[in-house]
Amino acid sequence: MLKINNLTAHYSAAQALFGIDLSVAAGETVALVGANGAGKSTLLKCLMGLHKPAGGTIFLDGKNITKTTPAGMVRLGVALSPEGREVFSHLSVLENLQLGAIPLKLAKAEQIRRMTAVFSRFPKLQERKDQLAGTLSGGEQQMLAMGRALIAQPRLLLLDEPSLGLAPRIMDEIFAIIRQLARGGTTILLVEQNAARALSASDKAYLLANGRIVEHGKSDQLLNDPALRSAFLGAASDENPAASRLGAAGLTNIRLEKPDMHTRDFMPAFQNEEELKSHQLKGLKWTVRHAYEGSAHYREKFEAADVSPDAIQSLDDLRKLPFTTADDLRTGYPFPLRAVPFEQIVRVHASSGTTGKRKVLSYTQKDLDDWISFFARCYQMAGVTPLDRVQIAVGYGVWTAGMGFQLGCEKIGALAVPIGPGNIDMQIQFLLDFQSTVFCSTASMALLMAEEIHQRGIADKINVKKIIYGSERSSRSMRQKISDLFGGAELFDITGLTELYGPGTGIECSDHDCIHYWADYYLLEILDPDTLKPVPDGEWGEMVVTSLCKEGAPLIRYRTRDITRLIPGPCSCGSILPRHSRIRGRSDDTIKFRGVNIYPSSIDTILSAVPGLGSEYQIHLKRDSAERDHMNLLVERAEGVDGGRAPELIHEVSHQIKKQLLVSVKTELVDYGTLPRSEKKIQRVFDNRIQDEIV
C-alpha cells in the first residue's frame, strides 16, 4: 500500500532523515521505533504533507503522492493522530470529531453514521461528547485524537506516539484499541518510543537512530532474538539506561523478558539424519531392556516371541518385537505396562475412552519432564513466544490434554489462561479481557468459538493470532472456516495420544502441509493394518509407535489405529525432524466425536439395557454446512414391540447416551428386521464427515 524510497528531510541546515526506505502492506501494522530525535515524527509529517521532503518519493497504491497536501492525503484515505494529541481544547468532544470530516465534505447522514461508529469504539467519548476537550484526561484526549482520525475512515492510519505521557493502565487500553483496529483490517503505521509496546503490537518494525533505519524485520523476531536485542535495542537497565544504542528515552521498558526464556531452544541438536538414527538406536536398546527387566507383561510377550534385548542391534530389528494393543492396556488395568517400582510413579493419566476399563498410563518425574519439554517444542514450532497469552480450552483432570497444554505453555514462558472446555460466555469474555493471542482447543470447540465470535461481531476486538487444536480430524474447508471467522488466525494441528505421554507428540509447521513428529522421543512405523507389513513412504497405513525413553509405561510397537502416511524428503520449513500427514481416519471402528472417544461396543451396552430394543443398530456421522458434527443412531425395535412405544424408547436411548457418553445423538427407531444381517462382521459405523481433503 505504502512505499517510501530514499526519503530525506531537513530543518533549515539540519538534516533529519537520511535515505529512508520503508514499505507497508495492506492490513499490516508497522512500527517505527526509536528514541527522541530519531526522525520518527518527521517521517510521518513528510508522509502526511505537513513537512516538505528534501528528496525521495512516497507512493500510495503505486501513485506518487510526495507533494500531496494534508487535505488531499485525507481524501486518499490517510489520516494522522498526531504526537501530543493536538486536540482543540476550547471545542467540545463532538466538535473536535467533526473536524476530522471537513476535508471529505460528507453528507449529514454519513457523518452521523461515522460518528456513531467512533462512539461505539470509544464509549467514554460518547459520555463526554458535550464536554470541552481541554478538560479531558490524557488518555481521553488520546482517544479523541484517534477518533478524529477515524472519522475519515482511513485505509492507512498514522499514529504518532499514542502512549506518550499515559499511565500504564490507560496505555493498555489504547494498545488494545490499536490491536482491534488492526484486526478490523485497518493498515497502521505506528510511531512509538515505547519499544516493547510497539513491537508487541505490530507485524513488522523499523528501528530508527539519528535519521537512519538501523534494522528492520518481523517484530516478534526483533523482540525475541537475543542478538538483535543486544545489537539494536541494547541492554538498558535501571542502573545504566544509556546502554541502549537507540538512546535511553522510552527504551528502558523493553526489559520484559522472563529469565532465560528468550534463549531457550527446545528443538533437538541433531545436525543430520545419521545423528538422529544413532540416538534412536540407543533409545530403542534401552527401552527394550528396560521393558524386559521391569515389566512382567513385556517379559512374557518377549519370551513368547522368542526375542530378548540382545536381539536389538539395529533399527531394523524393531520388526522382531511383538505388537502392543489397547487390549494389553485394559488387561493390565490399573497400572498396565508398568516398568518401574510404584515409588517412582508420580502421576497417572487416563484416556478419554468411555467404556469398560480406561487406558491408564503411569509417569515418572522424568517422563513428565520430557513431555513438558517436547510440548514446549510444539509451541516453539508454532511460533509461540514468552510474549503470548495462551487461552487453554481443553479438558483438565485425568485426561492428559489440559496439563500438557498448560505445563508446556509455562515451560516456554508464555502466559497461561487455563479455562478448560465449554463455558462459551467465559471463553469470549477472557478473549476480550485478556486479549489472548493463542487459543488451544479441539477442532469442534474452535469451530464453535469461531461461529460465536462471528455472531457477536467481535472478530476485530479479539487478538487471537494462532489456534492450536487437536483430538479430532479436520478438513481444509473446516480449517479455513475457523480461520476466517476468527479474523484470519493461523491454525496448527497438534497430535498425541495418552498412551504416548499425551498431546504434543508432533505439530504442523508454519508451512502447514505436514506434521513434524518428535523422532528423538519415539519411533514411528506405518504398516498395512491387515498384513502388519511396512508400506512404502507416501502410502497410507496404520501408525505404530515405540517410545525411546519412557520409564513408567514404555510402549513397544503400539498399534494406535490412526491412519496416516510418512512424507519423504526434507521439509521446506528447514526442520530436519521427520513428518507425516494429518490423521485421515482409524483402522478400527472407534469414533472420535466432539472430542470424545466412543466405542461402538459402548453403544451396544447401552442399547441392550433398554427393554424393547433389538440387537441391531447403525451409527451415522455427518457434518453440516456449518461444519458441525452430528450423530444419528438407527435402532431396531425388538420383535413384537408396539410402534406406539417409539417416543418413550427414543427418549430413553438419547437420555442414556447423553448421561453415559456425554454426547447428544438423534435417535430413530426402525422396524424389527429392517437393518442388514450378515455372517461377516456387520458395518455399524458410517462416517461421512470429511468429504474434502485433509491436507
Which of 237, 255, 273 is the C-terminal boundary of a domain? Answer: 255
- Please say whether the beta carbons of 75 and 100 come within 8 A: no
Confidence of residue 33 (pLDDT cuts 50, 70, 90): confident
Q: Look at residue 353 and tell me whether its pLDDT is greater than 80.
A: no
Q: Establish if 162 belongs to a structural domain.
A: yes
| Chain position carrying cell 491408564 | 360
Question: Is pLDDT of 599 > 80?
Answer: no
Least confident interval from 56-70, 156-170, 583-597: 583-597
Indicate whether 380 belongs to any domain. Answer: yes
Q: Does 564 lie in the same domain as 427?
A: yes
pLDDT tens column, 543-594: 999 999 999 999 999 999 888 999 998 898 889 999 999 887 776 666 778 7
Amino acid identity at 43: L
Q: Note whether 552 and 623 are same-domain residues.
A: no
Contacts 24+ apart (CB under 8 A), 47-51: 47/2, 47/4, 47/73, 47/78, 47/158, 47/189, 48/73, 48/78, 48/80, 48/158, 49/73, 50/80, 51/9
Cell triple for residue 347?
Answer: 502421576
Same structural domain, 369 and 223 = no
Same domain? 399 vs 446: yes
Residue 513 lies in a domain: yes
Report the percent of the chain where pLDDT is more than 70. Answer: 90
Best CA proximity match to 174, nearest among 186, 182, 162, 164: 162
- Confidence at residue 354, expressed as pLDDT on a 0 to 100 scale: 43
Lowest mean pLDDT among 109-113, 217-221, 288-292: 217-221
Residue 284 domain-assigned (yes or no): no
Q: What is the CATH number of the domain that holds 202?
A: 3.40.50.300
DSSP state of 571: -
Grid coordinates of 358: 480406561
Which class for 590: exposed (0-12), middle (13-18), buried (19 or more C-beta within 10 A)? middle
Rounded CA separation 521/189 (Å): 45
Is 543 found in the same domain as 434? Answer: yes
- Mean pLDDT (whole number) for 347-369: 82
At 479, phi and psi to the nearest 5? Answer: -60, -45
Residue 580 and residue 600 in one domain: no
Q: What is the mean predicted confidence (pLDDT) over 462-488?
A: 85
Instruction: Let me know whether 438 and 539 are in one domain.
Output: yes
Residue 603: the pLDDT is 80
- Asked whether residue 547 falls in the same domain as residue 678, the answer is no
Indicate whether 605 and 504 sit together in one domain: no
pLDDT for the residue 359: 85
pLDDT over 90 (residue 679): no
Asked, for residue 243, whether it belongs to a domain, the answer is yes
Tell me which of 447 and 292 has the higher pLDDT.
292
- Note whether 324 and 305 are within 8 A (CB): no
Domain end residue (candidates: 205, 225, 255):
255
What is the C-alpha separation between 596 and 662, in angstroms, rounded? Answer: 8
The reported pLDDT for the residue numbered 677 is 59
Last residue of a domain, one of 585, 601, 630: 585
- Is the same domain home to 607 and 566? no
pLDDT at 678 over 60: no
277 inside domain: no
Mean pLDDT for the chain overall: 87
Bridge partners of 78, per DSSP, are: 156
pLDDT tens for each residue of 202-242? 999 998 888 999 888 888 877 766 655 554 454 444 444 44
CATH number of the domain bearing residue 503 = 3.40.50.12780
601 in any annotated domain? yes
- φ, ψ at 419 (rounded to 5°): -95, -40
Q: What is the pLDDT of residue 595?
A: 67
Q: Is 509 found in the same domain as 388?
A: yes
pLDDT for 437 equals 94
pLDDT score at 682: 58
Domain of residue 662, CATH code: 3.30.300.30
Q: Which domain holds residue 420?
A: 362-585
The per-residue pLDDT for 591 is 75
Q: Do the beta carbons of residue 120 and residue 181 sit within 8 Å?
A: no
Q: Edge-to-edge strands of the sheet including 685-688? A: 666-670, 629-637, 613-623, 685-688
Number of domains, the chain: 3
Determine the pLDDT at residue 420: 92
**Cα–Cα distances in Å, from 385 out to 357, 389, 657?**
39, 9, 42
Q: Are residues 679 and 650 in the same domain?
A: yes
| 281 occurs within a structural domain | no
Among candidates 511, 504, 433, 422, which has minimal Cα distance to 471? 504
User: How much of the chain exceeds pLDDT 90, in percent?
Assistant: 56
CB 459, CB 674: distance < 8 Å: no
Residue 529 burial (CB < 10 Å; 0-12/13-18/19+)?
middle
